[in-house]
């Protein structure tokens, strides 16, 4: 069999045969003689100078990127990467496409890692920073070579060392990727000569283009090497700095998102609660019903139901709920069945055991299981619910049976061996319930059964609990997002931002912080010195108070008083019920609605004790109910925050009074100069570092029990009192009987009327009402404390304020507030300085290296000119 090739040869055999055809071709070759070479043509010289070797015209092009076409290039690159991934999946990718997948893999892998870490973080900011970190790292990898390698090289040498080109297949590649093959033909001669001028290449040397290209290649290789050396070190540093600068902006954005989400919960409350209802109680109840349906309600079932319904409930309410649930589960009847008969028989034997009765005797006188079952059946007690009053009838029947058995036993026994019937009767009819063989058994077996009626009651309670749990969770989530004691809530972010701004308001510099960062007392002295300097000048005082008032008022823009309010800071003394109702916040109204509806539903279900635990006996109950605890949480959190900054506002105002008119203060008018100095100093110390519990320390301080009678005016310079007498006494003393000292300190701090400027500023920023009420509360609740500062030293009628309210009103001490803010600022500045220095040094070295690049050795220059 012949092959296709042979068949083809035979079919196309030339005329005259294959040999004849070859002869014709040879003759044709002989006739085509080549032309003679031109005279004086030196082929070696021509080869050396490559004058006649013409490469094919390049089909590629240089990519000229700029800010205008950058988006188009990015889209084109993304499309190419997507096609490369598709080809790789189908096994059709070329080398260049596989190389591009490295970049795709880096981004997808980084995204996967950031996504995993996102799930492990707790707060929105830490979650978001995972993706910011990934973005900053990828951005640093792209930006670092452009701003530290490409840009300096171009400005110094005129060479774009990161130039890219597109080959004839449309593949984008770095121009200097392979030093052994650089597509120089893509550059026009004009472009090369222009670069040579920037490089300072002599215009008269032979083969100038070759010299220019050689130097461009050398600069590119040196810069790529520098890139590799610095990228691994500089990229993470640059990424960290980017994250540091991006964090405040992300935090502000997320805070706005958090605030809007919280507002949406309250605005669409019912919809949100219904959407997040989980039916946990109902589902768990159905599982229990499936196991215990139509079975007697025993202690095990009661315990299981109690644990199911009180899961997550506070202990006080849980006790009330347990009592109500028991009333529902157990009625006043008791179930008599086969098990009851056996248990009574067993209890009788336990009662007679160890009472000098042997087993044989007990077997003859005590009814066994079958006898007891027959006894209950014959007397109509079996398989029915009996009342508590019928216990005696059952006991009498059992007693009669035992008496008959004892009499029968004694009939055939001698007198000395007969059983004592009176003693046996006492054992059976014991006065103690736990020893009574019938009552002790029946009391444990209530007569209720988990029938359809009881199931319906429990299902109704489960629906009530599921509905309330969903709505209560919505209230809790709203409260948490707004004022929760957790990171990144609206209130927490406000506190952090305001605390940071206070340092700038007082002009506390990094240098100041470095000196006092380890000692709160030193920080307190610094703050005091800064405030005294500021308040000594009217303009600087007004500027500071304007800024502080603006920050205090900012809280009401983040957490609107119409949504959450602090009732204790409002003027409600002369308002009627309708006006007070109008002042209620939306949150307070919603809490009232949810808890009142819950209580009403519990009342209908017969859970009266739980109802009282939720809302109290009447609507005016304000202590110890779930409803008021829910309200108090948010208002107390806001009160603590506002009190801290209102205290600072009042402190600065007090310092201004001392700086401006210390000699005219009414509270000081009756004192000598030394006593005035003591009172003013005490006020300054207390406003800076005082705590709500300081009265327990009895305010020991530098005082003179026998002050000088000098009544000369105080001397004040730059906001500071120039003390003539204070500080000369040795040690701290206490004068127990001098109640007026503490009273006048309080009056001077919180009762002095506002000056015109301070009142105008507080009015302008709408904080005057809260500020004045805050000062009034301090006087009433703390100044009215029975033991402030000593027993019966109070300046107001006895108040009923507890330690918690006094703590909230006092707020954080001023020196502690600034100390914590200073520590945070110091840590941030230290970190920023360290990484900023490293980054700046790396940048400087990288840019400086450019001035040493491109230097050609003499032999290299000669080689390029040959």
Residues 113 and 209 in one domain: yes
Q: Which of 546, 517, 590, 37 is nearest to 262 (CA)?
A: 590
Q: Please indicate, yes or no, if residue 826 is contained in any of the structural domains.
A: no
Residues 675 and 724 in one domain: yes
Which residue's structure tokens are 């003689």?
33
| CA 626 – CA 602 distance, rounded (Å) | 14
Most confident of 3-12, 430-439, 716-725: 716-725
Q: Which domain covers residue 194, as residue numbers?
A: 66-267
pLDDT of residue 735: 80
Lowest-pLDDT range of 101-115, 691-705, 807-821: 691-705
Residue 167 backbone phi and psi in degrees, to 5: -80, -175
Q: Who has greater pLDDT, 410 or 506?
A: 506
Q: Among the residues of 146-279, which ranges form H helices? A: 151-157, 189-199, 208-267, 269-275
Both tokens of 356, joined, read 């000098």
Flag whether pLDDT at 281 surpasses 90.
Answer: yes
- Tell me the pLDDT tens digit for each residue of 174-185: 888 888 888 888
- Tell me the pLDDT tens digit for each residue of 367-408: 888 888 888 888 887 777 777 677 778 888 888 888 888 888
The answer for residues whose C-beta is within 8 angstroms of residue 819's C-beta and 6 or more apart is: 520, 523, 524
pLDDT of residue 530: 95
Residue 85 backbone phi and psi in degrees, to 5: -65, -40
733, β-bridge pairs: 701
Residues 775 and 691 in one domain: yes
- Compute CA 300 distance to the chain's CA centroid, rounded to the nearest angstrom: 41
- Compute CA 835 distance to the chain's CA centroid, rounded to the nearest angstrom: 26
pLDDT of residue 839: 86
pLDDT of residue 26: 47
pLDDT of residue 41: 58
pLDDT of residue 792: 72
Q: Does an H or E element contain 72, and which?
A: helix 70-89
Flag whether pLDDT at 729 surpasses 70.
Answer: yes
> Confidence band (pLDDT; 50, 70, 90) for 509?
very high
Q: Please indicate, yes or no, if residue 61 is contained in any of the structural domains.
A: no
Both tokens of 510, joined, read 């990094």
| CA 848 – CA 845 distance, rounded (Å) | 5
Residues 547 and 407 in one domain: no
Residues 176 and 96 in one domain: yes
Lowest-pLDDT range of 36-40, 200-204, 457-461, 829-833: 36-40
Q: Please indicate, yes or no, if residue 307 is contained in any of the structural domains.
A: no
Q: Please indicate, yes or no, if residue 763 is contained in any of the structural domains.
A: yes
| The total number of structural domains that make up the chain | 4
The pLDDT of 261-288, averaged and rounded, is 92
Which residue's structure tokens are 């110091």?
826
Residues 206 and 95 in one domain: yes
Which residue's structure tokens are 């008269």?
204
Share of the chain above pLDDT 90, in %: 32
Residues 89 and 193 in one domain: yes
| CA 616 – CA 603 distance, rounded (Å) | 12
Q: Who has greater pLDDT, 32 or 158?
A: 158
Flag whether pLDDT at 2 surpasses 50.
Answer: no
Q: Please indicate, yes or no, if residue 795 is contained in any of the structural domains.
A: yes
> Confidence band (pLDDT; 50, 70, 90) for 1?
very low
Q: Please indicate, yes or no, if residue 745 is contained in any of the structural domains.
A: yes
pLDDT of residue 715: 92
Flag whether pLDDT at 591 surpasses 90.
Answer: yes
Rounded to two decimals, the pTM is 0.75
- Whether the CB-CB separation of 417 and 292 falls below 8 Å is answered with no
Residues 82 and 205 in one domain: yes
Q: Who has greater pLDDT, 761 or 168?
A: 761
Q: Please indicate, yes or no, if residue 635 is contained in any of the structural domains.
A: yes
Residues 151 and 33 in one domain: no
Q: Please indicate, yes or no, if residue 596 is contained in any of the structural domains.
A: no
Name the domain boundary from 812, 833, 854: 812
720, β-bridge pairs: 717
| CA 237 – CA 717 distance, rounded (Å) | 49
Which residue's structure tokens are 């305010």?
699
Cis peptide before 170 (omega within 30 of 0): no
Residues 392 and 520 in one domain: no
Name the domain boundary from 788, 812, 836: 812
pLDDT of residue 303: 92
> Confidence band (pLDDT; 50, 70, 90) for 149?
confident
The pLDDT of 689-705, averaged and rounded, is 71
- Compute CA 421 distance to the chain's CA centroid, rounded to the nearest angstrom: 77
Residues 430 and 365 in one domain: yes
The pLDDT of 279-293, averaged and rounded, is 93
Residues 685 and 801 in one domain: yes
Name the domain boundary from 267, 298, 324: 267
Burial class (CB within 10 angstroms; exposed 0-12, middle 13-18, buried 19+) of 732: exposed
- Whether the CB-CB separation of 459 and 285 falls below 8 Å is answered with yes
């Amino acid at each position: 069999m012949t092959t296709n090739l042979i068949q083809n040869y035979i079919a196309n055999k030339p005329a005259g045969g294959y040999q004849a055809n070859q002869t014709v071709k040879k003759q044709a070759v002989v006739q085509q003689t080549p032309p003679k070479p031109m005279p004086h043509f030196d082929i070696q010289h021509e080869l050396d100078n490559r004058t006649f070797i013409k490469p094919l015209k390049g089909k590629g092009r240089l990519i000229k990127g700029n800010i205008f076409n950058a988006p188009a290039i990015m889209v084109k690159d993304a499309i190419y990467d997507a096609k490369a991934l598709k080809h790789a999946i189908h096994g059709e990718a070329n080398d260049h496409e596989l190389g591009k997948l490295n970049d795709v893999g880096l981004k997808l892998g980084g995204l996967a890692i950031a996504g995993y870490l996102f799930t492990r973080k707790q707060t929105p900011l830490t979650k978001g920073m995972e993706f910011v970190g990934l973005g900053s790292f990828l951005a640093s990898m792209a930006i670092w070579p452009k701003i530290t390698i490409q840009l300096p090289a171009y400005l110094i040498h005129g060479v774009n060392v990161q130039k890219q080109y597109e080959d004839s297949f449309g593949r984008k590649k770095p121009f200097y990727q392979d030093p052994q093959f650089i597509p120089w033909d893509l550059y026009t001669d004009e472009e090369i000569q222009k670069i040579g001028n920037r490089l300072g290449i002599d215009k008269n040397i032979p083969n100038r283009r070759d010299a220019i290209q050689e130097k461009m290649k050398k600069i590119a290789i040196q810069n790529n090497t520098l890139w590799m050396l610095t990228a691994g070190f500089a990229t993470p540093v640059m990424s960290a700095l980017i994250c540091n600068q991006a964090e405040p902006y992300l935090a502000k954005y997320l805070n706005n998102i958090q605030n809007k989400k919280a507002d949406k919960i309250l605005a669409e409350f019912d919809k949100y609660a219904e959407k997040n209802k989980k039916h946990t109680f109902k589902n768990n109840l159905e599982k229990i019903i499936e196991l215990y349906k139509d079975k007697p309600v025993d202690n095990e079932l009661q315990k299981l139901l109690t644990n199911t319904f009180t899961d997550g409930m506070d202990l006080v309410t849980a006790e009330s709920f347990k009592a109500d649930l028991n009333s529902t589960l157990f009625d006043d009847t008791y179930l008599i069945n086969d098990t009851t008969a056996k248990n009574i028989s067993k209890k009788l034997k336990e009662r007679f055991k160890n009472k000098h009765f042997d087993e044989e005797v007990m077997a003859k006188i005590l009814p066994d299981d079958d006898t007891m079952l027959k006894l209950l059946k014959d007397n109509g007690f079996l398989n029915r619910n009996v009342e508590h009053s019928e216990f005696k009838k059952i006991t009498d029947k059992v007693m009669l049976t035992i008496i008959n058995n004892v009499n029968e036993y004694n009939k055939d026994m001698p007198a000395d061996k007969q059983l004592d019937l009176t003693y046996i009767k006492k054992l059976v009819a014991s006065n103690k319930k736990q020893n009574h063989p019938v009552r002790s058994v029946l009391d444990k077996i209530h007569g209720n059964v988990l029938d359809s009626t009881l199931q319906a009651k429990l299902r109704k309670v489960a629906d009530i609990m599921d509905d309330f749990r969903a709505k209560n969770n919505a209230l809790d989530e709203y409260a948490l997002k707004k004022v929760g004691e957790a990171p990144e809530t609206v209130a927490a972010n406000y506190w952090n931002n305001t605390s940071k701004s206070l340092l700038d308001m007082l002009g506390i510099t990094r240098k100041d912080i470095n000196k006092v960062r380890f000692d709160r007392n030193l920080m307190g002295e610094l703050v005091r010195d800064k405030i005294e300097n500021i308040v000594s000048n009217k303009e600087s005082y007004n500027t500071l108070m304007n800024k502080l008032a603006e920050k205090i008022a900012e809280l009401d823009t983040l957490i609107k008083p119409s949504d959450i309010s602090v009732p204790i800071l409002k003027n409600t003394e002369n308002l009627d019920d309708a006006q007070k109702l109008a002042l209620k916040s939306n949150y307070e109204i919603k809490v009232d609605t949810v808890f009142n509806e819950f209580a009403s539903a519990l009342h209908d279900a017969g859970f009266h004790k739980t109802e009282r635990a939720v809302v109290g006996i009447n609507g005016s109950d304000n202590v110890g109910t779930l409803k008021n605890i829910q309200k108090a949480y948010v208002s107390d959190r806001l009160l603590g925050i506002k009190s801290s900054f209102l205290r600072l506002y009042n402190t600065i105002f007090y310092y201004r009074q001392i700086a401006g008119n210390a000699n005219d203060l009414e509270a000081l008018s009756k004192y000598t100069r030394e006593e005035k100095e003591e009172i003013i100093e005490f006020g300054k110390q207390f406003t800076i570092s005082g705590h709500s519990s300081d009265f327990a320390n009895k305010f020991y301080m530098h005082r003179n029990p026998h002050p000088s009678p000098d009544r000369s005016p105080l001397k004040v310079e730059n906001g500071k009192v120039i003390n003539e007498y204070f500080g000369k006494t040795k040690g701290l003393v206490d004068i127990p009987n001098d109640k007026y000292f503490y009273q006048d300190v309080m009056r001077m701090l919180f009762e002095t009327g506002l000056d015109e400027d301070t009142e105008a500023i507080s009015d302008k920023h709408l904080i005057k009402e809260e500020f004045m009420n805050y000062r009034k509360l301090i006087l009433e609740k703390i100044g009215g404390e029975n033991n402030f500062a000593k027993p019966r030293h109070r300046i107001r009628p006895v108040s009923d304020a507890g330690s918690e309210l006094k703590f909230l009103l006092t707020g954080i001490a001023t020196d502690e507030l600034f100390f914590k803010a200073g520590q945070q600022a110091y840590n941030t500045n230290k970190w920023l300085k360290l990484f900023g220095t490293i980054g700046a040094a790396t940048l400087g070295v990288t840019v400086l290296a450019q001035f040493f690049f491109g230097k050609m050795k003499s032999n290299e220059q000669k080689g390029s000119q040959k």
